[in-house]
Amino acid sequence: MTMQQRTEPSPAAVLIAVAVLALVLTVAFGPLGFVIGLALFALMFIGTKRGPAAEQIAPVRTRSRIRRLSTAGRVAIVGESHYQDAIAEVAKHATAQTLEDAIPATAVLVPEPVNRHDHQAVRVDLLRGDGSAITAGYLRGDQASDYQPLLLELADRGEVGSCPARIMGGGQRYYGVHLHLGAPRLLLLDHEALGTAPTMPAEHQVSVTGEDAHQLVLHRVVNGRTPVHVIAELRDCRIARGSHVGEHTLEVLLEGERVGQLTYAMGLRYCDLAQEWRARTGRALCEAVITNEGTRGLQAKLLLPK
């Protein structure tokens, strides 16, 4: 992401440049040149004292790596009424009156610890088609205080958090924006080896079966920490045992290795959706949470559409 910023020469550099000019004028024109140079020096000195107070300097031009955040939640932002033109630009002035018609966008979350109104503020920007960002609003104050520490950690690493956004409204209605954003506790994905490919909407927890036979893989993935939030891949498979032997379901892979599968009933529910997602994006990816269940060992739960 690139943000524009205007830079100004320092006052010391300006004064040195004018002093050199005054010296040149003195050598070239004698006393008259000295007087002209002295006048220029005085004018520039006054300008350097007043300049920064007269206008606010824009942010510096920076580049940050975009870090995908969990989408396992829905968060409405506030303050959109102040940024209607910006949101309309991203929405291309389209209208959306229902959730089904909501206009997709990509949001980035920018912590603002020096915000003069709220030092815990988190600004929400939307990405334009060229990758530049434009402000659409802010997280609500009580939510911002929970998200900002994690976002500041990312900023220290040169990263900015990103999540899907949906725009509604237009026409005679104000535009509103909500985010597909996970809770702060599991906001950061612990495994991103699958890159930035989109994941299925994370709306509903679905249990995985057969993890007991794949504990070594799960332990390697969690690396001693639980819970961890990861990206899993779903692939077609057949049930090998039980009353539904030979029937289709979906196996679950982490880092390319199997860690379990869906039950027959869940396979019936999600096989077509996974196939559709795979055809559209290349892979059927979803978010998952791995927890330590004591005597049951490490268990995985997928976050899938309702």
What is the distance between the terminal CA atoms of the chain, rounded to a whole angstrom? 32
Quote the CA–CA distance of 122 and 120 in Å, as a whole number.
Answer: 7
List the domains of the chain with CATH numbers.
14-41 (no CATH), 69-186 (3.30.70), 191-304 (no CATH)
Token pair belonging to 65: 């790596």
Give the pLDDT score at 61.
35
The alpha carbon of residue 55 and the mean position of all alpha carbons in its chain are separated, in whole angstroms, by: 30
Quote the CA–CA distance of 228 and 191 in Å, as a whole number.
Answer: 9
Query: What does the pLDDT average to over 234-249?
Result: 94
Q: How many CB atoms lie within 10 A of CB 161?
A: 25
Mean pLDDT taken over the chain: 83
Token pair belonging to 166: 């949906």
E-state strands within 18-158: 62-63, 65-68, 74-76, 103-112, 121-127, 133-138
Q: Is the pLDDT of residue 235 over 50?
A: yes
Give the pLDDT score at 135.
96
Q: Is the pLDDT of residue 2 over 50?
A: no
CB 155 within 8 A of CB 192: no
Query: What does the pLDDT average to over 268-291?
Result: 93
CB 127 within 8 A of CB 1: yes
Give the pLDDT score at 31.
66
Report the percentage of the chain scoring pLDDT > 70.
77
Residue 123's contacts (CB-CB under 8 Å, 6 or more residues apart) are 109, 110, 111, 112, 135, 137, 138
CB 89 within 8 A of CB 133: no
The model's pTM is: 0.64
Q: Is the pLDDT of residue 128 over 60?
A: yes
CB 126 within 8 A of CB 103: no
Query: What does the pLDDT average to over 265-287?
Result: 93
Query: What does the pLDDT average to over 53-82?
Result: 70
Give the pLDDT score at 59.
35
- For residue 199, name the pLDDT band (cuts at 50, 70, 90): confident
Query: What does the pLDDT average to over 234-255?
Result: 94
- For the stretch 93-105, pLDDT in tens is 999 998 888 999 9
Q: Is the pLDDT of residue 86 over 90?
A: yes
Residue 182's contacts (CB-CB under 8 Å, 6 or more residues apart) are 69, 70, 71, 72, 73, 202, 229, 287
- For residue 239, name the pLDDT band (cuts at 50, 70, 90): very high
